[in-house]
Amino acid sequence: MGQQSTRAAANVAAERPAAGGGVFLSFAPWIIFGVVASPSTWKYAALAALVAVIGLSGRDMLRGRFYVLDMVGIVFFAVISVLALALDRSRLVWLETYAQVISNGIVALVALGSLAVDPFTAQYARRTTDPGVWDSPVFKHINQVLTAAWGAVFALMAVSAWLAVRVPSLDDWFNWVIPVVLLVAVVKFTERYPEAYKQRALAT
């Protein structure tokens, strides 16, 4: 009976366990900021990211659905947009220099921190899975792994952005090549891991 329950949970929980589209859309404003931000454009990047996160999460908020990554994004991009308007540029050199490091670090902290309470990918997964499997080991495991993967990638991107500041001669590698490779890898992992784990769960 327990084995049958595990298999049934695997079938349902892994069908679309991370609601990939929702997760990717929530990352979009952060990626926009990371791509556009530079010492001369970071304030415009922050405004563009703020507009993006409000636009992408607005419908969910009107329906009473609040996702942690979206809420943190609204607060973060709103704060730095206000700072850009309220303070003289000379007082924001630190933000101009480390904007990408800070933004990537915040996403990593949100993702990895959510593992202690509720993996943030599970919020999206619940939109497309049966409530009966939300507490199943399969559902929990898949979302813990996916959340940890995204958190690790953004932590590595924060380090890469910091290295771009410290080693300007390699900034193209640290600001573009490495982040793109990391993002492509984690997107592919997010698409493939749930089905792979599902097959292993069904085989046991």
C-alpha distances in Å from residue 156, one per residue of 117, 153, 182, 203: 23, 5, 8, 34
For residue 60, the model assigns a pLDDT of 86
**Lookup: tokens for 87:** 């303070």
Q: What SS3 string covers 120-168?
A: HHHHHHCCCCCHHHCCCHHHHHHHHHHHHHHHHHHHHHHHHHHHHHHCH
Q: State the pTM of this model.
A: 0.84
> What angle is formed at CA 53 by the lines to CA 123 and CA 185, rounded to 5 degrees?
65
Residue type, 115: L
pLDDT in tens, 140-164: 999 999 999 999 999 999 999 999 9
pLDDT band for position 21 (cuts 50, 70, 90)? low
Tell whether the model's pLDDT for residue 12 goes beyond 60: no
**Lookup: tokens for 151:** 């958190």
pLDDT in tens, 33-88: 877 777 778 888 899 999 999 998 888 888 888 899 999 999 999 999 998 888 88
